Structure 1
Amino acid sequence: MIGGETKVRKKIMAISLSVILIGVHFSSSITFAQEGDIESNNEQTQDESSTSELEVDNEQLSSEDDELIVDKEDVIEENAIETSTEDEEKINLEDSKIEDDTEEITETKSLNQVLHTASNELKNGDRDQRVVTLKRNLAKLGFPVPGNGTTLFGFETEKQVREFQKYYGIPVTGTLNMQTENKIADILKTPLQNGKRHNDTIQLKKDLEFLGYPVPGNGTNVFGDDTEKVIKQFQKTHNLVWNGIADEVTLAKIKELKSAPLSNGMRREDVKTLKENLAKLGFPVPGSGTNLYGNDTERKVREFQAYYKLPVDGVAGSSTINKINSVLNSPLQNGKRHNDTIQLKKDLALLGYPVPGNGTHVFGDDTEKIVKQFQKAHKLIQNGIGRTLAKIEELKSAPLSNGMRREDVKTLKENLAKLGFTVSGSGTNLYGNATERKVREFQSYYRLPVDGVAGPSTINKINSVLNSPLQNGKRNNATVQLKKDLAFLGFPVPGNGTTLYGNDTERVVKQFQRAHKLIQNGIGDKNARKN
């Protein structure tokens, strides 16, 4: 039975081959006939001869086909008798499988066609109705393509697509691919554009106003003509694409500027606060306090930075703002109470700037006034805030010198007078020219470096002489020897030569000093004893 089927299949293949050959000959004959209209009569005669031969061949093939058909029918008829029901079912199953395979191939082919269409990019040189929509959308987004908006995807379209892709940070291909289409769609459906309402519009308007771009109105959730106009102004100022849409690039710029350090050229509402604070601290910016950070603001910021020993760049960065806030929050300013104010008042009094009152912890008008006087005298910023502690501490411990006012200048003058170097005047806290002159005399007399400054060595020497046991009112065994020495030199001290250094001893010592042209202080110091 299997051999019969094979025989049938071979004959069917032969018949098919014959039909193909007949078709080829027939097609050739038609072609030759069409071309024969322009050929010569001799060529027509050859065609007719060929046609006769073809007809003879066709008759032979037809005769062979008939024989094959008869043979096929005989075989089928013979096999039909032998073919069982089981074989018929097998054949039917095979035929069904072939049909299923054919359907699967057809479905796969259709799917591939769909996928191919979906992934098909528009590129330079293409014509497609989608190009019209693309151009229209690009124009809305601020990337207009020159021309009449035709279906042609040309050089200008590619150029604008590239600009769009670059601007929004997607791969720059110059083609309309799926990612580019999606990005265009996302921007076009944003609620932050003209004609739409959204709660985010309220915050957007607040942010724009903070950055110096107020939108007229009450700050509603409507994104109208005014909002679009202001957005375009903002975009233009910051070199963005002017599409009037609060797209991702615009929002990112707004976010950046909200937190950026204030610098020259910026407009922001907190520039007003900066100017107010600088004025409080003694660095007033000329003008009416607008939101513009201009040259004058930068100059004052630089002055502030230099004064407080910050890096000087003219930018109100975090370190500068923190310093401003630190000074402004000092408890040592008008209207506040703090225990440090008590010590401040003591220090100011020591430096010759007494605050009227009882030295309480209240920092009032009088304290502010005295602080400003102190700041002016020492060429500091006159803001009346007690953040001059560094200067106060410096002056408290600094050597006394010409031009200074300090309470211990009074003590210095008293001590110099005791030692025979009397400073003219009423003994004020001013270390003036007369004080400096007497200090120089003292230094010279006791063989110290002469600079007119009451530094540590000078003060120590003054204290050393003042603490000598050989002076009025003290007792010391050295006084006994002093009296003997004075008597030996012709300056006897009345009495029994006791350890007491009294009035008589002081008087005789002064006589001795005057006779030998020494400072007449009545103290038995080394200079007196050496002579």
Structure 2
Amino acid sequence: MKGSSTLKKVVISSTFATGLFLATQYDTADAALGDQTLRKGQSHPDVKELQEALKKKGFFNYHTSTGYFGSITEDAVREFQMKHGLQVDGIAGPQTLNALLSQMNGNNGGQQTSSSTPSSTSNSTILRFGSSGQAVRDLQEKLKAKGFYNHSITGQYGRITTEAVREFQRANRLSVDGIAGPQTLAALTNQAPAASAPQYNAPVQQTTVLRQGSRGDAVRDLQRSLKDLGYYRMSVDGIFGAGTTTAVREFQRKMGLTVDGVAGPQTLSALNVNPRPNTSNGQSSSSGGHTAPSGNRGATITNIVANA
């Protein structure tokens, strides 16, 4: 009996130590709840958020939120599911997380949050971390269509959705707060140029600025122009990343412009008439070394402005 008691103490101590290790490991992580299904055996910052949410509702009674999904967390999830008429499987899936997040936002049961109930967003709609429902699903689909959200459509506004909104806001020069308010939602819906946008023969506007983080057809046209001239050697993807920045810097250096990697009015204007960079044999690859190789170079640059 004494040996058995000693063994139990060792097991309990080891379990407690593991819990402390996991708590320390994930304590500083950028945790958020609602982005993924959580189940027994997982170690993740989202599990810690789940435990803390269950603890606030009186279902998780362990003294520490460890970030490890063990039997205690599973029992807490089961108890929560049972009380709210959900499928009792001990897995924190979309329905369970929706019900929990709704309660954390002050709603009863597993209903959608008031900010996300409509199937289509209006001018007064505000979606933020913790929102759920069809409006969030629509938001995720729009972000995914534009290349900012690369995960499954869950209808849960969690950490991944927040970061996708931040990235979209940053690329479109909006206030970067991770909240999908009227301005952000309007920008998502109205990305196409207006009918009165300048055509290909319009003059270059002096307000266009493309920089790292920008996305869309304007960046794609910029990459094509730089690629035609031999400065950009990667795929044309419409994403102003490190490769595009390097190409812009190389072009600016060659043209005697301010080398900042930002495609502003001067850089875009210089792209209208410029030499190709020297080839390996030291000869200029453009005729005469002073004109762009493409016959519609002016049209391409104006296209950048129109799409921007």
Structure with larger RCO (C-alpha < 8 A, sep 6+): 2
Pairwise TM-score range, normalised by the shorter structure: 0.3 to 0.5
Higher Cα radius of gyration: 1
Output the TM-score relative to the length of structure 1.
Answer: 0.22
Structure 1 or 2: more helix by fraction: 1
